[in-house]
Amino acid sequence: MKQSIVQMNEIEPGIILLQMEDREHKNMLTPDMTASLQAAFRLIGADTRYRAVIWTGYDSYFSSGGTKEGLLSIHAGQAVFTDASVFQLSLECPVPVIAAMQGHAIGGGLSMGLFADFVVLSRESVYTANYMKYGFTPGMGATFIMPYKLGYSLGSEMLLTGNAYRGGELERRGVPFSVVPRGDVLAEALELARNMALKPRASLVTLKHHLTRTIREQLSEVIQQEIVMHEQTIHQAEVKERITHLFGN
């Protein structure tokens, strides 16, 4: 785990704060970031002291999603989005995970956060499933988790349009998450974590495994369907042009 970009701290007994802080790349899912997150969740899952995880970013960024180089590599047929998979890490974590998305969550970064057991958004931040902005169909489990967590209407709208939404707008649209000012996101997440930290770990693990059963059973098939859709859409010349000229705008 690259300590400089992913930090783990037990902030209270049984509560781990997992913070992504790659300021150079604005928390994009670079190879270093994906490897560091995988290592961190392995450590968390193996330590029986932990009962809850708060997963957050820095300043105004939660996760900026895939890199331009990574998208072009998939376009060229040199990779698929499952090669360095991180979107399912919180789902596979044995104890509950709270995605404290205090900052912008973009593309795969939003999908990654939505797989957490709890989500806290900030009113000021931007949340977008911007895959279709670049002309290719969504991956990272987005076609399942967004309608599942946000409701079919809003989830489908976000996926099909690729538009960006402020947390305050999502709050008005009725998302089933806490939406608070950015400065209050961690405090909101900590209250949830404290509540769970009082419970027996074995009970938390057992109940989480039960509650996530539907997602786990359906996710593998969804990912295969997303890979097929990618094969049909991401190799278009127009997609390369869009990634080259629109990325980061």
Domain ranges of the chain: 6-184
β partners of residue 65: 28
Model pLDDT, residue 218: 94
Q: Quote the CA–CA distance of 28 and 32 in Å, as a whole number.
A: 10
Distances (CA, A) of 216 to 89, 91, 161, 243: 12, 8, 27, 31
HSE (side-chain half, CA atoms, 13 Å) at 57: 30
A 10 A CB-CB count for 30 gives: 20
Structural domain 6-184, CATH architecture? Alpha-Beta Complex (3.90)
What angle in degrees, to the nearest 10, is found between the helix axes of 213-233 and 201-211?
50
- Residue whose tokens read 């990618």: 230
Residue 130 identity? N
Q: Quote the CA–CA distance of 60 and 159 in Å, as a whole number.
A: 23
Q: Is the CB of residue 127 less than 8 Å from the CB of residue 104?
A: yes
**Which one from 25, 75, 209, 230 is the annotated catalytic residue?**
230
Give me the tens of pLDDT residue by residue for the chain, a chain 249 residues long.
556 899 999 999 999 999 999 999 999 999 999 999 999 999 999 999 999 999 999 999 999 998 889 888 888 888 777 777 899 999 999 999 999 999 999 999 999 999 999 999 999 999 999 999 999 999 989 999 999 999 999 999 999 999 999 999 999 999 999 999 999 999 999 999 999 999 999 999 999 999 999 999 999 999 999 999 989 999 999 999 999 998 877
Residue 44 Cα to chain centre, angstroms: 17
Model pLDDT, residue 128: 97
Known catalytic membership, residue 230? yes
Q: Quote the CA–CA distance of 1 and 100 in Å, as a whole number.
A: 21
Q: Is the CB of residue 74 less than 8 Å from the CB of residue 230?
A: yes
